[in-house]
Amino acid sequence: MKLRYLFAGVLLCGATAVASAQNLGEQELAQLKGSFVKDAHTTAVQNILLGDANIKNKTKDLSKVQEVDHFFKYRADVKGITNQLQSGRCWMFTSMNALRPTAQKKYDYSKFDFSHNYNYFWDILEKSNLYLENIIRTAGKEITDQEVVWYLQSPVGDGGVWNLFHNIGEKYGVVPKEVMPETVHSNNTGQMTGVINRRLKKAGWDIRQVYEQKTANIKKNNKKAQEELAAALKAAKMEALEDVYRILVLCLGEPPVEFTWKYKNNKGEVVSVTSTPQEFYKGLIPDNYNTQTYIMIMNDPTREYYKVYDIANYRNTIEGVNWVYLNLPNEEIKEAALKSIKANEPLYASCDVGKESDTKAGVCNPGMYDYESLLGIDLSMDKKARILTRYSGSSHAMLLMACDTDENDKPVKWQFENSWGAGSGHNGYLTFTDKWFDEFMFRIVINKKYLSEKAVEAAQQTPVTLPAWDYMW
């Protein structure tokens, strides 16, 4: 009876809070019907849409495409377009694309590229270990707890940001693409990760069962019983990781510990390089390639600028760094990005590439798709509203490598090197207006020497920790 009364109370409270809530009655339906005026324009639009499901194509403003050219005053020295195919490894491709010009120059090999397969192997294995450790850490919480639900619902995936590449690179290094070539599963990851996630969910359940059974017999300060619990949990974890490792080797191949790489350089000479992945990595990264010198800066208008934020548990290795970013106004980000490009240093960047973009033409420009005029509706929201309603957020990482400026050296347009192959966009590149930067650009990774004194000082703050399920994730 108590529950019934409590439920009734909740309903009453809800009714008080939304006193005007009501169903759609005759009056409301009459108002809706009356709002639809079938004039000549409306009839024409209806006739078009009833016979064509592609609304987006009918809204395209071609002038927004035609007003953008692909010529730039400042361009970092990058060449060669990569293709991530059917995988979510854009962050990995972009991080490596930033280092690729150095490798091309060092080895006198214009066709050089990294093995993304090699780093992907270790990324998924490390993410699996982190997931299992989080399951062990939260084993005492209810299975309906928000943190537990967050981990259980999606153990591992392809996605990530620059810090994940840094973590894997520092620990496992990198290798040329010929040393560990791509496979059908690295290029199309869905089925392999689906099986891995199924195995990890089983492990998550098994670990929680072990915890429940073992803790029932543990008395306070019973050291032996606690040690037995820790050993049982570790055994369950390692059993699962052995299976994950097996799947990865079967689908991706086994990563090398040491390798000999032979190639024909730009002069036509055959060259042989023997190295470990770690040594190869150290020979390519810039000086001070660490998270103190290279930092992520973000434009997040939902939060205070000149503050540092940390997404809890957003990493791949246990010992690695989390996703940490300094929140800055767009004008500050643009000034720093332009300095970096002028210094021939392209930038890891991520954005909401699906918004106001024609990826076939390789142009991104606000107002490109005018749904409002076609449909007679209002869709206006600022960047803050789009983020908080989950309409917009960073969806794709690319290399920011060019900027065009006006007579006052103020940016008018920018360009990405994408990782969707040369057949996508403008020969593999995407050009976007400065206004699009304001609306749909989110973050870049930059050497802090290009930041203002105010931003550098702000970067020293202790980060504000955000939950693992934060909307900026």
Task: Give me the active site residues, please.
Answer: 90, 396, 418
Categorise residue 344: left if φ over 0, alpha if ψ from -120 to 50, beta otherwise. Answer: left
d(CA 299, CA 349): 12
The DSSP code for 428 is T
Token pair in block for residue 69: 């050219």
Q: What is the 3-state secondary structure (H, E, C) of 441-453?
A: EEEEEEEHHHCCH
Token pair in block for residue 257: 């510990």
Which is it for strands 429-433 and 363-364: parallel, antiparallel or unpaired? parallel
Query: What is the number of H-type helices and E-type strands within the chain?
Result: 18, 14
Categorise residue 428: left if φ over 0, alpha if ψ from -120 to 50, beta otherwise. Answer: left
d(CA 128, CA 134): 10
Backbone CA torsion sign across 222, 226, 232, 236: positive
* Residue 354, SS3 per DSSP: coil
Tell me which residue of 374, 380, 367, 371 sits closest to 435, measured CA to CA: 367
Q: Output Rg (C-alpha) for the chain, integer angstroms.
A: 26
Q: For residues 417 and 427, is the Cβ–Cβ distance under 8 A?
A: no
d(CA 150, CA 163): 21
Tell me which residue of 101, 96, 90 sits closest to 175, measured CA to CA: 96
Q: For residues 79 and 104, is the Cβ–Cβ distance under 8 A?
A: yes
